[in-house]
Structure 1
Amino acid sequence: MDTEKYRKNLQGEVVGPDEKFLKRDQVMEMCSISHSHIYYLMNKGMFPKSQRIANCSVVWLESDINLWRSMNTKHFFAEYGEQIKAQKLGEGAAA
């Protein structure tokens, strides 16, 4: 299977049919942070980047958000910061 054309999460796994896409309001509620803080952290490489699903619509992968929630911010940045910084906003985890 050619995995290059499929979405991947931060851990490099192909996104399966069970994966949930979360909208910004859902992410804000799950993480208890504002939308401006989400984008601030994304730009610093300290929060998962969004996935573009349409021309002007983005979502986050639930697995990426749960991974972020399970780790402290410094450890998350050390593990995934460079990978996230290399991605463009809305590009997703296919870095």
Structure 2
Amino acid sequence: MISAANDRFMRLDEVIKVTGLGRNTIYRRIGEGTFPRQVRLGPKSVAWLQSAISAWMTSVVEGSLAPLADD
């Protein structure tokens, strides 16, 4: 369960700033299933959970540190 004390919503501008990705890249990766989906807050308002963005960033770092497979 999500606790407001442990999580918060991030708007697109903040997600862009934190991840270093551009708007188009974020939405393309959402479509590809490689980036967390946004949460609908209202009819014209979306945001991302900070915990989802943090988990995604951790997985990217862990993936880049994995040893390369020998061919």
Coarse TM-score class (shorter-chain normalised): 0.7 to 0.9
TM-score normalized with structure 1 length = 0.61
Mark the runs of 5 or more structure 1 residues left unpaired by the alignment: 1-13, 76-95
For 1:25 and 1:17, the matched residues in 2 are separated by: 21
TM-score normalized with structure 2 length = 0.81
What is the identity percentage for the equivalent residue pairs of Structure 1 and Structure 2? 26
Tell me by how many angstroms 1:72 deviates: 2.1
> Does 2:4 correspond to 1:17?
yes
Runs of 4 or more above 2 Å deviation: none
Which SS does the other structure have where 2:34 is aligned?
Answer: coil
> Does 2:52 correspond to 1:64?
yes
Quote the residue 1:86 is aligned against: none
Q: How many residues align?
A: 61
Q: Please tell me the residue identity of whatever aligns with 2:38.
A: S
